[in-house]
Homo-oligomer: A and B are copies of this chain.
Amino acid sequence: MLKQETLSKNQQIVLDYIEKVNEPIKAYSILHNVQKKGIKAPLQVYRALDKLVEIGKIHKIESRNAFVACKNSNCQISKATAFSICESCEEVSEISDSKLSKYLKNFQDKAGMKFNKYNLEFFGLCKKCSVK
């Protein structure tokens, strides 16, 4: 049985906005844009973000302190995330590559640590920007 089938009011407001913009967005930018919906304080946003990350509806782009909706419709919990980031235009895409995720999920480190999650961020120039 799936946990958390329904989102709370604030969680839904924040998720709706993140899904609408469809690109990584920062917490305070979210705040400014959902104030008309009644969300007044940073903490209300951060709490919603925490929950949405936890249940896999969104991901955090750690190197950018930004949040983006998950594109893998079946991603219930984000344990395996990979992104490509253009250092010029800052475009971010989620990488869906089953070979890559399989490789990383099975990666065994020498210290014998058991992993339950990873985040991978690739940096470079997207096609558009490498032409410029």
Contact = CB atoms under 8 A, between A and B. Distances in A.
A129 B110 CA distance: 16
Nearest to A81: B121
A115 interface: yes
A84 B115 contact: yes
Interface string A88-127: 0000010101001001100101111111111111111111
Contacts of A113: 84, 86, 122, 124-127
Interface size class of A (residues with CB under 8 A): 20 to 34
A84 B111 contact: yes
A120 B118 contact: yes
B124 A111 contact: no
A120 B93 CA distance: 16
B114 A97 contact: no
5 contacts: A62-B62, A109-B122, A113-B126, A115-B123, A118-B122
Interface of A: 62-63, 84, 86, 93, 95, 97, 100, 103-104, 107, 109-127, 130
Given A109-B122, A120-B121, 12 more contacts: A84-B113, A93-B111, A95-B110, A107-B122, A112-B127, A113-B122, A113-B127, A114-B124, A114-B130, A115-B122, A115-B123, A116-B123
